[in-house]
A and B are shown apart, each in its own frame.
Chain A
């Protein structure tokens, strides 16, 4: 026993020391400016050495804590590097004239005040709001009706359910191109009276985006409504039936009130996902479309917030400005989410 723990101790110390040495060595290489390719391997082996060493440390007292640390490390490290650090860096950059690489000046709130003077950005906010409202209503309505259809006892319902859900499997970029084809080639062919594609005009292009979005998303929301409807107890429905309630009464007085939590979930899901809409917007219209807004001729008629942010930074090369817009986007989304949580909590109390 003693001997075993002694050798274990040795091993653990070797791993720990070796790991630390490798780690320092690789970092030293970095500071000396060598670009040797084995640097990365050294670092990884070093970190693993340290972890193994920690694991093998023959202490009973701290073993549990060490295990907790080892278990937390990988995901937490990734999370900090990919989310937390960029979040604070981004907040900082939004007050500078950052160009994606470096910044030379601290500009205070200039980026934030500037965006409210930019009609094209204000239009993107307005358009996104309109889009969110339309979608929330349409997707939920369509999905609920589909769910009612799919919960009635019909033959082949499994097939219908699966096929309504199918569009949700496909990524927005690919869907956008497919629908671009449909709007510019197929729809104009079917309705000969159309002068040009729906995508060529801002208003109809907006409708087109909504059509694609409902087509893609309704099937998914439908699934959630089906789950909700299935939780309505059969005996309640039967009781209503015996009392002579007709289908409409059952729907409005029993089913809908009973699935209120589901409705909240679905509203929230459609709301946030419509807010973040990017892929379809990019591949279907790329934000083009023109209109007169606030006395200016705008050329981003169908450009929603997410795409506006992307274009500001990546295409127009204004990284700091794009970053500031992104923070406003974040604030809006956070307010909506918090309001949502509040509402759903108060509802659940009522139930």
Chain B
């Protein structure tokens, strides 16, 4: 009797282990043939029903991309699977793991400086029809056109137009440190009347918001006031981690002003949500974010419909530009289903897809022939800068990958007051140089 029981148990265990293996192999059989076909010919791959995979790094537009995929299926019968990874730094780490696991998506998001990590693995998109309709594609000297721009984003000091108007400050005049100083003191003096907690909603918390200070705010040092294709400071930086001390000192003075007039509850250990929620509730006149906060601000119950815009980080006289352009790109994996991916990207640049991306996802289109304008409350301000040619590049995305994790700590120490202005500059110089020399 016991023997029989044992036999049954043993068989069950064997069956379980077999099922585990069987489960694995059956899941292979659905994906493996698709891979095989892709390397041979593109034609049958489309019919396999597996479709292509797109790795998205912006969780806030995940639902809209799902809608985009549905539309693509409706129009062409082809499938696009959207996979989203939260947080922009995570996407690149996860991609490395996916590559390790031989599980690469066909289209994935990269920032410009990550192109080198994928040397030889990105398909050349030169000659695609959409490249004629945009100025923002990512071109690599070695690999050709590799990045498809899916959005234009802008960042500078986002302001609440209603508050500035009440305070009698014209954002167009904020183009010198002196003008800023005067305006900030004025607003600070009227805080109670305006219902403000602080002039700035600036958050230098490094663990979760390091991308904000280390990449976006740092971007202003690199690009503020420069023409779109001017690479003076990024070239210096990438030449062994050099900085322009005079410019960094002026930048430090400006950040010092922001530290002084910022909400102390937010400055050192706040969160992105607190920052955006505070701005939406009219607690801050300025926040250090970009137009990607539009969805969260409009969706906030405290938002009362006021306009928003961007003012430049004028840490030197005459700085009057904001940073605008695609912060990240979609690239095509050269060992994936390249032709299907190219077809999809071409479709995304066309009318029905742009309709979804602009009108539902509130993205600003990088394509000249796009006839939609985003319902983004920042759109008017951004378009104004773009029309006047007052935009600077996102060259911060070309700094050595991972530098933001170091510099954000320097911003945090400055915000806490453990570093003064001069120490901020010298520490910044030392941290950057040692990171580049590693």
Main secondary structure of the interface of B (DSSP, over half): helix
Residues from chain B with Cβ under 8 Å of A279 in the complex: none
CB distance from A23 to the nearest CB of B (A): 14
Chain B residues closer than 8 Å to A296, beta-carbon distance: 430, 434
Residue-wise interface mask of A (282-304) relative to B, using a CB-CB cutoff of 8 A (1 in contact, 0 not): 00011011100000110100000
For residue A41, CB closer than 8 A to chain B, the reply is: yes
- Is there contact, CB below 8 Å, between B35 and A35? yes
B76 interfacial by beta-carbon distance below 8 Å: no
Q: Are B430 and A286 in contact (CB under 8 A)?
A: no
A299 & B405 in contact (Cβ 8 Å cutoff): yes
Q: Is B93 an interface residue (CB 8 A)?
A: yes
Determine the interface band of chain B, counting residues with CB < 8 A from chain A: 35 or more
Of B17-25, B143-151, B327-335, the one contacting chain A is: B17-25
Task: For A289, list chain B residues within 8 Å (CB).
Answer: 409
Asked if A243 is at the interface of the complex by the 8 Å CB criterion, the answer is no
**CB neighbours of B97 from chain A (8 A):** 314
Least Cβ distance of B103 to chain A in Å?
13
Whether A100 contacts B100 by the Cβ 8 Å rule is yes
> A35-B33, A200-B269, A201-B416 in contact; A314/B93 too (CB < 8 A)?
yes
A37 x B268 contact (CB < 8 A): no
**Does chain A have a CB within 8 A of B304?**
no
Contact B29 A197 (CB under 8 A): no
With A199-B207, A288-B409: A316-B402 Cβ-Cβ less than 8 Å: yes
- Residues of chain B in range 187-225 having any CB-CB distance to chain A below 8 Å: 205-207, 210
Q: Does B99 contact A (CB under 8 A)?
A: yes
Which residue from chain A places its CB closest to the CB of B14 in the assembled complex? A48
Given A40-B21, A40-B28, A44-B21, A297:B430 Cβ within 8 A:
yes
Residues of B within 8 A of A159 (CB): none
Contact status B409-A299, CB under 8 Å: yes
Given A196-B268, A290-B409, are A40 and B99 also a contact pair (CB < 8 Å)? no
Q: Report the bound CA distance from A316 to B92 in whole Å.
A: 11
Could you tell me the distance between the alpha carbons of A346 and B412 in the complex, rounded to whole angstroms? 51
Interface string of B7-46 (1 = CB under 8 A from A): 0000000000010011011101110110110000000000
Inter-chain CA distance A200–B269, complex, in Å, is: 6
CB distance from B413 to the nearest CB of A (A): 5
Chain B residues 93-147 with CB under 8 Å of chain A are 93, 96-97, 99-100, 117
CB neighbours of B240 from chain A (8 A): none
Please pick, from A41, A188, A286, the residue contacting B207 in the complex, using a CB distance under 8 A.
Answer: A286
* Majority secondary structure of chain A interface residues (helix, strand, loop or mixed): loop
Decide yes or no whether B406 CB sits under 8 A from chain A.
yes
Contact partner of B36 (CB less than 8 A), chosen from A35, A195, A200, is: A35
A195 and B28 contact, CB distance less than 8 A? no
Within 8 A of B (CB), among A66-114: 100-101
Across the interface, B416 reaches (CB within 8 A) one of A37, A196, A288, namely A196
Number of interface residues of A (CB under 8 A): 32
Does A2 sit at the interface, judged by CB under 8 A? no
Q: Chain B contacts of A100 at CB under 8 A? A: 96, 100
Known pairs A44-B18, A195-B268; A200 contacts B412 (CB<8 A): yes
Closest to A288 in B: B207
Quote the shortest CB–CB distance from B206 to chain A (angstroms): 5
Known contacts: A37-B32, A41-B22, A195-B268. The answer to whether A299 contacts B99 by CB under 8 A is no
A101-B99, A200-B268, A299-B406 as given contacts; A40 in contact with B416, CB under 8 Å: no
Q: Is A118 an interface residue (CB 8 A)?
A: yes
Task: Choose one: B28, B100, B406; the contact of A101 (CB below 8 Å).
Answer: B100
List of B residues within 8 angstroms of A299 by Cβ: 206, 405-406, 408-410, 431
Which residues 398-438 of B have a CB within 8 angstroms of A? 401-402, 405-406, 408-410, 412-413, 416, 427, 430-431, 434, 438
* Given contact pairs A35-B36, A36-B32, A317-B117, A297 touches B100 in the complex (Cβ within 8 A): no
Closest to B99 in A: A101
Q: With the chains together, A41 CA to B22 CA distance in Å?
A: 7
B264 at the A/B interface (Cβ < 8 Å)? yes
- Nearest CB in chain B: distance from A101 CB, A: 7
Report if A38 contacts B (CB, 8 A). yes
**In A117-132, which residues have CB < 8 Å from any B CB?**
118
* Residue interface mask A211-227, B partner, CB < 8 A = 1: 00000000000000000
- A37 lies within 8 A of B410 (CB): no
The 9 A-B residue pairs whose C-beta atoms are closest, nearest first, are: A37-B29, A299-B409, A35-B36, A40-B25, A197-B269, A196-B268, A290-B409, A288-B207, A196-B269
List 9 A–B pairs whose Cβ atoms lie within 8 Å, in order of A's numbering.
A36-B36, A44-B22, A101-B100, A200-B205, A288-B207, A290-B413, A297-B431, A314-B97, A315-B405
Interface set of B (CB-CB < 8 Å, partner A): 18, 21-22, 24-26, 28-30, 32-33, 35-36, 93, 96-97, 99-100, 117, 205-207, 210, 264, 268-269, 401-402, 405-406, 408-410, 412-413, 416, 427, 430-431, 434, 438
